[in-house]
Amino acid sequence: MKADYEEKIPNNVELKEDRRLQRALESWQPNFLNWWESMGPALPTEDVYLRTAVNVGRDGWAHFDHVAMKDYRWGIFLADREKDRTIGFGQHRGEPAWQKVPGEYRADLQRLIVIQGDTEPASVEQQRNLGAIAPSLYDLRNLFQVNVEEGRHLWAMVYLLQAYFGREGREEAEELLHRNSGSEDAPRILGAFNEETPDWLSFYMFTYFTDRDGKYQLGTLKESAFDPLSRTCEFMLKEEAHHMMVGTTGVDRVVERTAQVMVENDTDDVGGLGVVPLDVIQKYLNFHYSVSLDLFGGDTSTNVANYYTAGLKGRWMEGRRKDDHKLTDESIHVDALVDGDIGTTEVAALVGLNTDLRREYIADCQGGVKRWNRILEQAGLPRRLALPHVAFNRKVGAFAGIEAAPDGRRLTADEWAAERGKWLPTETDKTYVRSLMQPVHERGKIAAWIAPPKQGINGKPFDYDYVHLA
Ligand SMILES: [Fe+2]
Ligand SMILES: [Fe+2]
């Protein structure tokens, strides 16, 4: 279906056929724009070289141009409807996918959409001040691209709430703009989305590890029996791929530059040489990875078992799993404290679905570490980065109540307090990283702590005028 760009709200859902919904969304739109002005990117710009979704099909869905960010065409785009789509898992497996919300699942579906929706504007808020300390115009452009797309993801969830959940849905849509990241009175729902993103190393780690959690959550919602949710998430995943790229290549470039300076000076001790030492990169990695693991929830969950059986939320790559897609007789080993020690315990597969998803995510994260280590190897350096143990720095799940080192060693509370500064960024580390963040807003130039990208955006060179500052 072709996107309608004539309308106030670009969409491919034939919004003009539904006056009530159109009016509801048009009255939410100014609130969204107010939020964007007050909580979105703080750095004033004339225009930014952005891609805008114009169509959801395989070709030409993205259109690139210099646009003023406040005029960005946030819209509602669902992937094309799959004819005769049936439900792929749970007790309704094989039945036609739902085009409306079944009354019995209304509250649960609404909750799932609100939780996903809450993360989208949260990250924009967290990244609000990064523009002022961007290492290059290329990076600045990527930050803004991620920001406008997270804004669009909020639109996607608000559309579902307003179109399918009546008055309660409209109220939840308002709440999504009232809660704010880090707020005392009305914080965002999930912990990682109330953390600060104070520097660009944090930003790359966030887009690598925390946006990747988003990818996995969207992947499970894409399987949903509720077809509009499924189609929304499918399209969001295409945009999410760019956010992953920003994180992956961002960390690549930090590691690459650090490795260069280590080799040039024949030392590990590069803290005074204007780049981020490897052990500080490892600490940032430890932090972002462990808080992102928490986003997957408890190791076991009867709620999630119920969501699966009801058909609301599937597994990652549900279609490729070789089982009965009901899991009533299966089991899984999940993380657990066994006699007070780090171990695993066997539970019904249905209640272990959070663990299943977290493990898919962990396997994916290994990919990043592998490529960053290849950069170190190619530089001839013996040092390597690693993902910390799953019990390290956890606030949710079986290991929330204990302390463990990155290698999985159990620690007493005192040992943890004495040693945590070796594994998590200290104030000194953060201050040092922050000191490197001198803005480079000049075309073709880049900060000294990061290597330039291998490629520009949409075939443009690195020294392209990606952003015009105001
Ligand atoms: Fe998103
Ligand atoms: Fe994202």
- Show the tokens assigned to 162: 């307003």
pLDDT of residue 5: 64
Which residues does residue 406 pair with via DSSP β-bridges, in sequence order?
A: none
Question: Which ligand has the nearest atom to the CA of 127?
Answer: 2
Could you give the CA distance from residue 12 to residue 358 in angstroms, rounded to a whole number?
A: 33
148 C-alpha to ligand 2 centroid (Å): 10
Centroid of ligand 1 to alpha carbon of 342 (angstroms)? 33
Ligand of minimum distance to the alpha carbon of 142? 2
User: What is the whole-number distance in angstroms between the Cα of residue 53 and the centre of ligand 2?
Assistant: 15
pLDDT of residue 53: 81
Residue 107 pLDDT greater than 80, yes or no: yes
pLDDT at 2 over 70: no
What's the confidence (pLDDT) of residue 192? 85
Mean pLDDT of 135-163: 97
Ligand in nearest proximity to the CA of 211: 2
Q: What pLDDT, on a 0 to 100 scale, did the predictor assign at position 63? A: 87
pLDDT in tens, 387-432: 999 999 999 999 999 999 999 999 999 999 999 999 999 999 999 9
Q: For the segment 121-142, what is each residue's pLDDT rounded down to a tens digit?
A: 999 999 999 999 999 999 999 9
CA dist., res. 304 & res. 314, Å (int): 9
Q: Give the whole-number percent of the chain exceeding pLDDT 70.
A: 98
How sure is the predictor about 60, in pLDDT bands with cuts at 50, 70 and 90?
low
- Residue 335 sits at φ, ψ, to 5 deg, of -60, 140
**54 and 62 Cβ atoms separated by less than 8 Å:** yes
Amino acid at 198: P
Return the pLDDT at 387.
98
Confidence of residue 367 (pLDDT cuts 50, 70, 90): very high
In this prediction, residues 210-233 reach a mean pLDDT of 97
Query: Which residues, chain by chain, have CB under 5 Å from ion ligand 2?
Result: 211, 240, 243
- Residue 123 CA to ligand 2 centre (angstroms): 8
Q: What's the CA gap between 259 and 269, in Å, rounded?
A: 11
Q: Ligand 1 centre and the CA of 157: distance in Å?
A: 10
The pLDDT confidence band at residue 91, using thresholds 50, 70 and 90, is very high
Tell me the per-residue pLDDT of 180-207, one tens digit each, with 9 for 90 and over.
999 999 999 998 899 889 999 999 999 9
Work out the number of other CB atoms within 10 angstroms of the CB of residue 238.
Answer: 16
CA of 95 to the centre of ligand 2 (A): 32
Please tell me the distance between residue 333's alpha carbon and the centre of ligand 2 in angstroms: 30
CA distances to 100, 318, 321, 349, 435 from 91, rounded to whole Å, are 18, 14, 16, 15, 56
Instruction: Read off the amino acid at residue 236.
Output: M
Residue pair 208/368 in contact (Cβ under 8 Å)? The answer is yes
Q: How far is the CA of 214 from the centre of ligand 2 (A)?
A: 6
Per-residue pLDDT for 251 more than 80? yes
pLDDT of residue 465: 97
Region 275-292: mean pLDDT is 98
Which ligand is in closest contact with the Cα of 246? 2
Average pLDDT (68-82) is: 90
Alpha-carbon distance of 172 to 179, in angstroms, equals 10
Q: How far apart are CA 420 and CA 413, in angstroms?
A: 10
Is residue 1 predicted with pLDDT exceeding 60?
no
Question: Within 13 A of 363's CA, how many CA atoms are on the CB side?
Answer: 8
Q: How far apart are CA 316 and CA 89, in angstroms?
A: 12
pLDDT of 65 reads: 93
Q: 116 C-alpha to center of ligand 1: Å?
A: 8
C-alpha neighbours within 13 Å on the C-beta side of residue 177: 19
pLDDT tier at 7, thresholds 50, 70, 90: confident
The ligand with the least distance to the CA atom of 241 is 2
Distance 402 CA to ligand 2 centre (A): 31
Residue 346 CA to residue 216 CA, distance in Å, equals: 23
Which runs of consecutive H residues, i.e. helices, occur in 322-352?
A: none
Q: What is the mean pLDDT of residues 236-252?
A: 94
Place of tokens 């115009």: 137
d(CA 95, CA 281): 49
Distance 303 CA to ligand 2 centre (A): 25
Three-state SS for 164?
Answer: helix
Q: Which pLDDT value is given to residue 58?
A: 63
Ligand nearest to the CA of 242: 2
The structure's pTM equals 0.96
Please report the pLDDT score of residue 330 as a whole number.
95
**CA–CA gap between residue 176 and residue 417 (Å, rounded):** 36
**254 contacts 201 by C-beta, under 8 angstroms:** yes
Residues in the chain: 470
Encode pLDDT of 306-365 as tens digits.
999 999 999 999 999 999 999 999 999 999 999 989 999 999 999 999 999 999 999 999
Give the per-residue pLDDT at 59.
59
- Distance from residue 82's CA to the centre of ligand 2 (Å): 25
